Each structure stands twice: as structure tokens, then as C-alpha cells.
Amino acid sequence: MVETYTFGPIDIDQLRLLASLTPGERIRLMLSARELAVGLMRGRLRRLYPDLSWIELNLKLLEELDHAKERQPRSKFIPRHSENT
């Protein structure tokens, strides 16, 4: 069975808020989002490998990030995605 993905409705107020940010504020927001994503990944790895030191855990994180470059973009799995137009 093939899963289909749908997107939620567009939040116009959120888009207006993002459009009103200065370039510096946008970068700060992007860096905060990155920090959250890396923290979540690190937490998952800590649960999978509780005996690793922080250095070993960070190396594991870097390996995972490097491996992510080789993965196929998710858009290839979404039927009728914009790349097909």
C-alpha cells in the first residue's frame, strides 16, 4: 500500500510575520530551528547509544548528517509534487 502525504493549510498570518522579519532575524530564526533539529537528533542518538561519550555521540551525529546528504529528497516520494511539473 502506498502512503499519500498531504500538506496542511497555509498559515497566512505566519507567512506575513516571516516576511516582515529583517534578514538578520530570518538567519537567527533559521539557526534556532537548526539548533532544535540537531538537539532532537542528539537526544535520539543518546537514547540509542547511552554509553557513548559526548565526543563519540557528536561524531555519530556528524556521521548521520553526512549520510543525510546521500539520501533521496523526500519530494520524490510525494505523488504530484512540484518537481514533476
Position 49 pLDDT exceeds 50: yes
Q: Is 44 part of any domain?
A: yes
The pLDDT assigned to 19 comes to 93
Residue 50 domain boundaries: 21-72
Concatenating the DSSP letter of every residue in 26-85 gives HHHHHHHHHHHHHHHHHHHHHHH-TT--HHHHHHHHHHHHHHHTTSPPGGGGSTT-GGG-
Q: What is the domain count for the chain?
A: 1
> pLDDT-derived band of residue 76, with 50, 70 and 90 as boundaries?
low
Q: Is 41 part of any domain?
A: yes
Q: Is 80 part of any domain?
A: no
